[in-house]
Amino acid sequence: MRMNRIAAIIISAGYSSRMKCFKPLLPLGDSSAIERLIQTYQRAGIGDIIVVTGFRGENIIEKLKGLEVQIVLNDDYAKGMFTSIKRGIFALGENIDAFFVQPVDIPLVKETTLKTLIHNYVVNTEGVYYPTFNKIKGHPPLIDCKYNSAILNSYGEGGLKKVLEEFKEDSICVPVYDNAILMDMDKKEDYEKLLQYENLHAPNKAECQAIMELYQVPQHIIKHCEAVESVARVIYNQISLNGIKLDDNALFAAALLHDMARKEKNHPVIGGNMIKEMGYGFVGEIIAYHMDIEVKEEEPISEKEVLYLADKLVKEDVVCNIDERFEQALKDKGENPLDIEKIKKRWISTKIIIKKIERITGEGFCYENKNISHKTWKNCNW
């Protein structure tokens, strides 16, 4: 295991010409793009942060007053990003072992992505680490300082990418579940997509699929989760038509990920905690209650209850009859009083949730045994 004093070079020197407004100071949540990146790197444990400025550098300096970052000016910023990368490398301290190169226009990179790259750097010996999402390289690369001279001595044709291609045998692609590594904001429509992504507060479908792949979730469990998500969508759509508003993004993500830890004992809590550690607290909370839940008939229906019911309606990837399923479960458990009590409690909770839905929709809740994966599931009156 090698030393790991790691820095971040945030490139914030360009004209933002295609955006037609100054990208580093565009709002994202409660802060600006540049502040958001600094906060993300600091949460990932990076204390050495260099911000390279150029165009409107005085505005960035004013914005970052009081923050623990080193700001350096690139007088040659008009000649392109590679000059700013060089300026950032030149400003690195002698005790730095490796550094991230982070363009300011890719501002929603996740803390977990940075930590994953750092971990790979620490336990391996290669010199360059690229994050990938769905096998596509994104930002930021993590680069060992042994390549500082090669970068600084380059004339810049083809930029940093061209320099690092010479060392591709000394690089690793690191899969991450972070769509944001590919999401820049060159144009106004890109920025609007970033805002929509930011407002999800849940992993999107592609990220859920990446999470399951990274955690090597078996295919039959993935099919079950996809079926549960399909049922959850049907239930959500019907109650939303009747004025009930739930967090659909969190609900559908929780449905896709609810059994990712099924092979573990107490898998709802373990799986929920895994998702919480990724930064999706509410999604993890929903997952934690998909097996057992306390349901109060007088309280409004919740995302947890919708997932709970959808999971009980699906056996593997096929919709099942609720009463038949619980009756069979009671037979399978024999005479074990604790197991029988738990099954009966789950059965009662399921019926209470169904009654809530019937009150909301004004219709009876019934279903046919159909294969969800072929989208043939139907409800009698829906």
- Distance (Å, whole) CA 23 – CA 380: 52
- Distance (Å, whole) CA 296 – CA 302: 11
Q: State the fold for domain 205-374.
A: Hypothetical protein af1432 (1.10.3210)
Structural tokens at position 212: 């399951």
Whether the CB-CB separation of 116 and 25 falls below 8 Å is answered with no
Per DSSP, the chain holds a count of helices (H) and strands (E) of 15, 12
Cis amide bond preceding 107, omega within 30: no
Structural tokens at position 325: 């399923």
- Distance (Å, whole) CA 202 – CA 278: 10
Q: What is the pLDDT of residue 355?
A: 95
CATH assignment of 6-198? 3.90.550.10
- Distance (Å, whole) CA 118 – CA 122: 6
Q: Residue 164's closest CA among 181, 151, 155?
A: 151
Q: Which single residue is written with the structure tokens 């001279």?
A: 149
Whether the CB-CB separation of 268 and 311 falls below 8 Å is answered with no
Render each residue's pLDDT in the chain as its tens digit; 382 residues: 566 799 999 999 998 888 888 999 999 989 999 999 999 999 999 999 999 999 999 999 999 998 999 999 999 999 999 999 999 999 999 999 999 999 999 999 999 999 999 999 999 999 999 999 999 999 999 999 999 999 999 987 888 999 999 999 999 999 999 999 999 999 999 999 999 999 999 999 999 999 999 999 999 999 999 999 999 999 999 999 999 999 999 999 999 999 999 999 999 999 999 999 999 999 999 999 999 999 999 999 999 999 999 999 999 998 988 888 888 888 887 677 888 889 899 999 999 999 999 999 998 886 554 444 434 444 444 4
State the pairing for strand pair 318-319/48-53.
unpaired
Q: What is the pLDDT of residue 17?
A: 82
- Could you give the C-alpha distances from 347 to 285, 290, 321, 364, in angstroms and in order? 21, 13, 12, 18
Q: What are the start-end ranges of the H helices in the chain?
A: 33-43, 57-63, 81-90, 111-123, 148-152, 159-165, 188-198, 205-214, 219-241, 248-257, 267-277, 281-288, 303-313, 322-332, 337-361
Q: What is the pLDDT of residue 323?
A: 86
Structural tokens at position 334: 């024999």
In the chain, where the domains are located: 6-198, 205-374
- Distance (Å, whole) CA 260 – CA 254: 10
Q: DSSP character for 301?
A: P
Q: Residue 7's closest CA among 72, 93, 116?
A: 93
Q: Residue 365's closest CA among 231, 246, 250?
A: 231
Q: DSSP character for 300?
A: P
Q: What is the pLDDT of residue 366?
A: 67
